Amino acid sequence: MQSDIFQGPRARRLLQIAVLATLYVVSGWLGLELAFFQENATLIWPPTGFSLAALILVGPRLWPGVLIGAFTLNTINGSAPVPAFTIAVGNTLEAVVGAFVMVRGFDFRPTLERVRDVLALVIVGGVFASAISATIGVASVWWSGGVRAADIETVWLIWWRGDLGGAVIVTPLALLLRSGTPEWAILLRHREFWIVSAVLLASSLLAFRGVAAPAWEPDMLQVAFGCMIWAGVRLGPRGALLISSSAIAIGAIQTARGLGPFVGVDPHASIGLLWTYAMQIGTVALILAAAVNQRDVAERQRREEQDERQRIERKQLLSQERERIMREMHDGIGGQLVSVLSMVQRGQASDEDVAEALRRTLDDMRLMIDSMEGSNADLSELLGRLRARLTPMLRRNGLGLRWDVDEVPALAALEPEQSLHCLRIVQEAIANVVQHAQASNVGVRVSSPDADPDAIAIEIQDDGIGFAAHPIHQGRGVRNMRARAEALGAELRIEQTHPGRRIRLLVSTQGVAALGRGSRDRF
């Protein structure tokens, strides 16, 4: 039973707390090596970064690790038990409040791939949460007599800057070690990463070479900033973080040794300049990397959504085209074949009747094939092909054909289905002439009306008996023609003439464009 204590979630939590407390003590001891003014206040306070990262990644249940680690470190550093505990409470509240507000209030993502995540880390985890630790810590040190009242403002500012530096510099390192982009293997194989690292190393060492350095050496800081910008734009969050952390580490170590452009008579001014340099490099690199990554993600999503829309559109067009072909085959070719089959089964069809029906079936099939080339041929060319299909049939029925085509505009917006509507209307009109008009001649004229130069008028005129013997306005063929004209956005007129009758179809560019593909759903 006792072995169960060392197994399961409870044991894992105790282990995590112990690891965090140990990490707090070790990183705090290293951080105190960079103390400039007072032994409890330093430029960068690494424990803040590790504590904040641990509570973000694992959860607030690790707060005892922060409390134990902070109390132990302060005790080792010579603080009395009460001030050490009070300071530890401030450090714990800093991590708990910062992590809670970032995760719950700002939907913080530890990959730092969004600008809002970097800003939340800097503003909430750094500026706001660090003020909690600095206020409680300085108050405790002052109460215990460790700092004079005149120095409270200076110590608070350095303390706050140190915790802010830990949050901005160390927290991203801890977060991106676990998850982030690009993958470490890819980043370390990237030649550009090593080139930028070499330039940064050389420029930073020259910039922080010594107190009596040549005037041009501080200008090397500008090269370091250039490396930050390059890393942020090109190397992703992890690459930008490694480059910026290297620059900050070199600057902090050299300044602590009394070297570089930030070293002066006043240590407060030195720490202020170094801190500003570190914050600028760290935040600029991370914000740039997040902005570029966010832009790339948005661009990928846009392309994926566009590809998906195109895929859906292609699928819909394919389905619509399949339905169109099936409908035309059913109504045209299918109807012809069913009629022939019925005649043959009843024994009412002669060889010539069967041959004629099969010819009409072939004409229908060829008509469909011609209409499918509508995107590559204008209406005049398609009507010319229809003439070639219809001429033999008219000749067999003893009808003369007069075909006049003027120069007319090409309707570029005409879709295959709309082309087929035009051809079917002409075909149906001529079929009515053959079957009912008792005519000797039929004429087809294609022209562009003076009133609308962008339109095409198609007129089918015969010299037959007109409406007297056959009420064409009530026939199924005319209903089909009217439905097709409506689907085209065109105007269809059927008029009595002397002799015969005239069917006039007016197809306009505006009508075709207004309906577009919607005509598929209207017939």
Mean pLDDT of the chain: 79
Contact present, 378 and 423 (Cβ < 8 Å): no
Least confident of 153-167, 275-289, 341-355, 506-520: 506-520
Q: What are residue 504's DSSP bridge partners?
A: 459, 493
Write out the residue limits of the CATH 1.10.1760.20 domain(s) in the chain: 1-179
- Highest CATH level, class, for 1-179: mainly alpha
Given pLDDT bands bounded at 50, 70 and 90, which one contains residue 375?
A: very low
Task: Please report the pLDDT score of residue 258 as a whole number.
Answer: 77
- Torsion angles phi and psi, residue 405, rounded to 5: -130, 115
User: Is the domain defined by 397-522 classed in CATH 3.40.50.1970?
Assistant: no
Contact present, 504 and 481 (Cβ < 8 Å): no
Contact present, 288 and 240 (Cβ < 8 Å): yes
Task: Please report the pLDDT score of residue 287 as a whole number.
Answer: 86
Contact present, 361 and 372 (Cβ < 8 Å): no
How far apart, in whole angstroms, are the C-alpha atoms of residue 168 and residue 31?
15
How far apart, in whole angstroms, are the C-alpha atoms of residue 32 and residue 46?
9
**Over the stretch 418-446, which tens digit does the pLDDT of each residue have?**
777 888 888 888 888 887 888 899 999 98
Instruction: Considering only the C-alpha atoms of the chain, give the largest distance between any 2 of them, rounded to a whole number of Å.
Output: 123
Task: Please report the pLDDT score of residue 522 as a whole number.
Answer: 41
Pairwise pLDDT comparison (77 vs 17), residue with the higher score: 17
**Over the stretch 216-240, which tens digit does the pLDDT of each residue have?**
666 777 888 888 888 888 888 888 8
**Over the stretch 30-82, which tens digit does the pLDDT of each residue have?**
777 655 444 445 667 889 999 999 999 998 899 999 999 999 998 888 788 88
208 pLDDT exceeds 70?
yes
Angle at 256 between CA 253 and CA 260, to 5 degrees: 80
Write out the residue limits of the CATH 3.30.565.10 domain(s) in the chain: 397-522
How far apart, in whole angstroms, are the C-alpha atoms of residue 116 and residue 54?
20
Q: What is the pTM of this model?
A: 0.59
135 pLDDT exceeds 90?
yes
What letter would DSSP give residue 133?
H
Given pLDDT bands bounded at 50, 70 and 90, which one contains residue 124?
A: very high
